[in-house]
A and B are shown apart, each in its own frame.
Chain A
């Protein structure tokens, strides 16, 4: 069993079928095809308001192109120290932002807390053109540590951003896992709380390669599309991005996949606890961070289980990520099959 990441998974059957269905006819390129033309309406239906959808093939592209419309080359993006944009996306934000700087702050379980954010922004001293002034706040839902912002937490962050005139961005690489955990309407934790842009992840949760930039402020569309083209992310055969996204929404596939992944993570947490591991955080999405002894780690590896150490949480910390295809029954049986 491979728990090293959710991106080790293949394409789920529904998305593969949607791609395969696009194998006969010719279709207009660069988003002029029928499937691509359906995207705005499909996502507007999902979010309960008019949105613009700009699909790209990777989560990094969705984040850094999404942010490029929200911050000037002279501005800062406040994010958590552990944010993917800060730790795992090279200098992508500066590249697409023309130099914009990430301003990392702390918070428990990779969450930014509204009060701490307010204090940070209040304490920031602007020295005019000499300093980097925050222009945008970026949070990750679910977080890099597998926790989920509640609706109230999201609303509180939105209020702080409104007070300080900050743009608000959400890295939703695992947005589906968060919505599945919260069981709320997607609008509650996005535009109703003041979010301008969301990167709506699909790649980790069953797609081949597509994440959608969702613009709640439609005025950002032109700039975002220009940055996508300039960054080489506009697909000529754009219909294959669209086909994946439409299949991902169809019949709530995105939520079904995410619920499965979350349930697998809960089952894994239980199995590992039985075997002596201690969770570092309460797992709410599909990621699990645990502390365990070397002996147990070795036993799991010997049984063919793949996972990663997570040294930023301590030498005995490890990450396990479940996905839409995780075998829940086998996970439940782990204490019996491996022993403890």
Chain B
């Protein structure tokens, strides 16, 4: 069983069916097709607000292109040290924004805390052209350490951003996992809390390759579309991005997949705890971070489990990620096979 990441999973049957469906007809390019034209309406219904949707093929592109419209080349983006944009996206943010700087801070389970954020921003001294002043805050939902911001958490951060006149961005590579955990309306943790744009992840959760930039501030659309084109992220056969996204939100496939992944993570946590491992913090999405002995790690690897060491949390810490296709029955059976 491969728990190295959720991106080791293939696409789910609903997405494959969608890709296969209009395989014989021609369609206008660059988003002029009928499926692409449905995206804004479909996501506006999902979020209960008029939104603009700009799909791209990767999560890094969704994050960096979004941020390019929320921060100037001279500004800063406050994020968590562990944020994907800070740790795993090369110098993408600086590239797409023309030089904007990431201003990382700490917080438990890779979460920014509203009070800390307020303190951090209030404590910065603006030296005009000499300094980098924050213009935007970026949070990740669910976080890089598998935790989920509550509705109140996000609201509190939104209020701090409003107080300091900062834009608010959400990296939602695993937004579905957060929603499956919170069981709230997607509006509650996004635009109602003051989020300007979200990268709405699908690739990790059953798509082939598509993440959507969803703009709650639709005035950002022309600029985002130009940044997408300039960076080579506008697909000519745009319908194949659209068809994945439409299949992903139809009949709540996104929430079903994420609910399954979260349940698999819980089942795996139970098994690992019985084997003597302990969670570094509560697992709320589809990622588990566990402390365990080298003996247990070896035993699990010998049993065919794949997972990564996570040295930033300690030499004895490992990450397990469950996906939409994780086999919960097999996970539960580990209790007997591992002894």
Contacts and interface: CB of A to CB of B under 8 A. Distances in A.
Contacts of B232: 56, 58, 60-65, 89, 92, 96, 231, 233
A204 B26 CA distance: 12
Nearest to A326: B26
Contacts of A233: 57-58, 61, 232-233
A15 B314 CA distance: 44
Interface in A1-31: 2, 4-5, 7-11, 13, 16, 19-20, 22-29
A238 to B, nearest CB: 9
B63 to A, nearest CB: 8
A29 B7 contact: yes
A26 B60 CA distance: 21
Contact of B10 (A11, A24, A208): A24
A61 B56 CA distance: 13
A24 B327 CA distance: 13
Interface string B51-85: 00000111111111100000000000000000000
A19 B19 contact: yes
A11 B185 CA distance: 36
Given A16-B23, A60-B232, A226-B90, A7 B29 contact: yes
B208 A229 contact: no
A209 interface: yes
Contacts of B8: 26-29
Interface residues of B, number: 54
B236 A58 contact: yes
Interface string B4-20: 11011111010010011
Contacts of B56: 232
Given A24-B10, A231-B95, A237 B208 contact: yes
A58 B10 contact: no
Contact of A209 (B9, B95, B204, B237): B237
B92 to A, nearest CB: 5
A59 B234 CA distance: 10
B240 interface: yes
A232 B89 CA distance: 8
Interface in B84-101: 89-92, 95-96
A57 B235 contact: yes
Contact of B23 (A13, A27, A60): A13
Interface string B300-331: 00000000000000000000000101000000
B208 A19 contact: yes
Contact of A230 (B29, B95, B230): B95
Contacts of B91: 230
B243 to A, nearest CB: 10
A90 B11 CA distance: 32
A240 B61 contact: no
A232 B233 contact: yes
A194 B234 CA distance: 31
A231 B240 CA distance: 21
A295 to B, nearest CB: 26
Given A23-B11, A58-B232, A232-B64, A9 B209 contact: no
Given A58-B232, A209-B57, A236-B203, A5 B10 contact: no
Contacts of B4: 28-29
B29 A234 contact: no
A316 B92 CA distance: 45
Interface string B38-61: 000000000000000000111111
Contacts of B208: 19, 237, 240
Nearest to A15: B23
A91 B230 contact: yes
A8 B89 CA distance: 32
B27 to A, nearest CB: 6
A209 B235 contact: yes
Secondary structure at the B interface, as helix, strand, loop or mixed, is: loop
B337 interface: no
B25 interface: yes
A7 B230 contact: no
B299 interface: no
A56 B8 CA distance: 18
A5 B27 CA distance: 10
A90 B226 contact: yes
Contacts of B60: 229, 232, 234
A95 interface: yes
A226 B92 CA distance: 10
B230 A23 contact: no
Interface in B258-291: none
Contacts of A24: 10
B28 interface: yes
B20 A20 contact: yes
B223 interface: no
B320 to A, nearest CB: 13
A187 to B, nearest CB: 27
B177 to A, nearest CB: 16
Nearest to A93: B230
B236 A10 contact: no
B229 interface: yes
Interface string B207-231: 0110000000000000000100111
B150 interface: no
Interface in A226-248: 226, 229-237, 240
Contacts of B90: 226, 229-230
Contacts of B13: 23
Interface in A43-72: 56-65
A7 B7 contact: no
A176 to B, nearest CB: 16
10 contacts: A16-B23, A26-B8, A26-B323, A28-B8, A208-B19, A209-B57, A230-B90, A232-B62, A236-B209, A237-B209
Given A16-B20, A231-B232, 4 more contacts: A26-B9, A29-B8, A90-B226, A233-B57
3 residue pairs, one from A and one from B, having the closest CB atoms: A61-B232, A232-B61, A7-B236
Interface of B: 2, 4-5, 7-11, 13, 16, 19-20, 22-30, 56-65, 89-92, 95-96, 203-204, 208-209, 226, 229-237, 240, 323, 325
